[in-house]
Amino acid sequence: MNHPPIADSRLPELLRAMPKAELHMHIEGSLEPELMFALAKRNNVALRFPDEQALRDAYVFNNLQEFLDIYHEGTMVLKTEQDFYDMTCAYLARAQADNVLHTEIFFDTQTHTGHGLSADVVINGLYRACADAPAKFGMTASLILCFLRHLSEEEAFACLEEALPLRDKIVGIGLASSEVGHPPEKFAKVYARAREIGFRLVAHAGEEAPPAYIWSALDVLKVERIDHGVQAIHDAALMQRLAKDGIPLTVCPLSNLKLRVFPTLAQHNLKAMLDAGIVATVNSDDPAYFGGYVNQNFTETFAALGMTSQHAYTLARNSFEASFIDASVKRAYIDRLDATFASFA
């Protein structure tokens, strides 16, 4: 859809003001050093860094695994339902400041059950914050449980089982953690079960691993969205499939930069994806670690790639269209998006 022309000089302001949905962020990756230190103190957990700045200085990564190791260390400070609630509220406040109207939040129960917590402490804390989001932050929020792909399918089944009493608090199932060597088909049976139960399905695929992982996420796991998916660019048939079937990609440009998936933002393929007709969206992934929340992802990527207000509209609209919200809420959010663009014209 086209919208009235908007001056280039107003693009950064438009990117910040436009209503958007965020569909790819890991709540554990929103834990800022300040809150991490506060929770460490509250829960008597020792951190190996002397202060917040020393921790931030350690956020230099050569690949996904180097990030995952430090991310996992940070999750050790989370102990109580209140911790999960507080972490989620801190993220929701930041998202609200970026004019996010709806967010679908990833969490990995297995990280926390691996530290001796019970799944309900995690899910109830996260869910209480999501339930408070409309009144507290003027937005909607839902939860997607991600299996850890470096663990076995049997462990994913156990995780699903544990979450079932809280089924109504979770909208979907995802797949995260170390990608290369853990292809989607490893989780074929547990995804089939999740599908039977009625969960919406997504999976990280083609972040670092080749296009074959995206094909199997689609054809074996039967996911509705692909998280990252940027490696699809190397497979023309896959690009055509994604465009033809309108499979959304939840792209995370600053994450890709920090994890060296692309050497510079100017070499990122977001614009090429959009220009190829792919339903791409922009997201922050792990904003506390990757240098910014969703608006920072928009403004830096647009500047680096010379993208336009038409791209901005397409990305924001895609974010609502690709979300798992009810059709009437979706319509209302897109109306707000249209009103913002009209006010800038």
Residue nearest ligand ADE by beta-carbon distance: 176
Query: In angstroms, rounded to a whole number, what is the distance separating the alpha carbons of residues 205 and 247?
Result: 13
**Is 101 one of the binding residues for ligand ADE (CB under 6 A)?**
no
- Our CB check for Zn ion shows the closer of 28 and 285 to be 285
Cβ at position 320, least distance to Zn ion in Å? 20
Query: In angstroms, rounded to a whole number, what is the distance separating the alpha carbons of residues 23 and 282?
Result: 8
Q: How many Cα atoms within 13 Å fall on the side-chain side of residue 71?
A: 25
Number of C-beta neighbours around residue 43 at 10 A = 13
Query: In angstroms, rounded to a whole number, what is the distance separating the alpha carbons of residues 100 and 20?
Result: 5
Total residues interacting with ligand ADE, rule: CB under 6 A? 11
Number of C-beta neighbours around residue 293 at 10 A = 22
Element (H, E) at 24: strand 20-26
Q: Which partner, Zn ion, ligand ADE, none, binds residue 213 by CB below 5 to 8 Å per kind?
A: none
Q: Could you write out the DSSP letters of every residue in 80-92?
A: SHHHHHHHHHHHH
User: Among 257, 291, 301, which Cα is nearest to 30's?
Assistant: 291
Query: In angstroms, rounded to a whole number, what is the distance separating the alpha carbons of residues 273 and 67?
Result: 26
| φ, ψ (nearest 5 deg) of residue 24 | -150, 90
**Is 28 one of the binding residues for Zn ion (CB under 5 A)?**
no
**Is 22 one of the binding residues for ligand ADE (CB under 6 A)?**
no
Give me the amino acid identity at 221: L
**Catalytic option among 162, 179, 207, 208:** 207
Residues 151-190, mask of contacts with ligand ADE (x by CB under 6 A): -------------------------xx-------------
**Is 285 one of the binding residues for Zn ion (CB under 5 A)?**
yes
Q: Which partner, Zn ion, ligand ADE, none, binds residue 29 by CB below 5 to 8 Å per kind?
A: ligand ADE
On whether the CB atoms of residues 130 and 159 are closer than 8 A, the answer is no
Q: Which partner, ligand ADE, Zn ion, none, binds residue 314 by CB below 5 to 8 Å per kind?
A: none
On whether the CB atoms of residues 151 and 187 are closer than 8 A, the answer is no
- Our CB check for ligand ADE shows the closer of 200 and 204 to be 204
Query: In angstroms, rounded to a whole number, what is the distance separating the alpha carbons of residues 300 and 24?
Result: 18
**Is 64 one of the binding residues for ligand ADE (CB under 6 A)?**
yes
Q: How many Cα atoms within 13 Å fall on the side-chain side of residue 290?
A: 32
207 is catalytic: yes
Q: Write out the binding residues for ligand ADE, residues 281-320 only, by CB under 6 A.
A: 285-286
Cβ at position 26, least distance to ligand ADE in Å? 4
Q: Write out the binding residues for ligand ADE, residues 184-223 only, by CB under 6 A.
A: 204, 207
Residues 251-280, mask of contacts with ligand ADE (x by CB under 6 A): ----x-------------------------
Q: Which partner, Zn ion, ligand ADE, none, binds residue 104 by CB below 5 to 8 Å per kind?
A: none
> Which residues form the interface with Zn ion (CB under 5 A)?
285
Catalytic residues: 207
> Which residues form the interface with ligand ADE (CB under 6 A)?
26, 29, 64, 71, 176-177, 204, 207, 255, 285-286
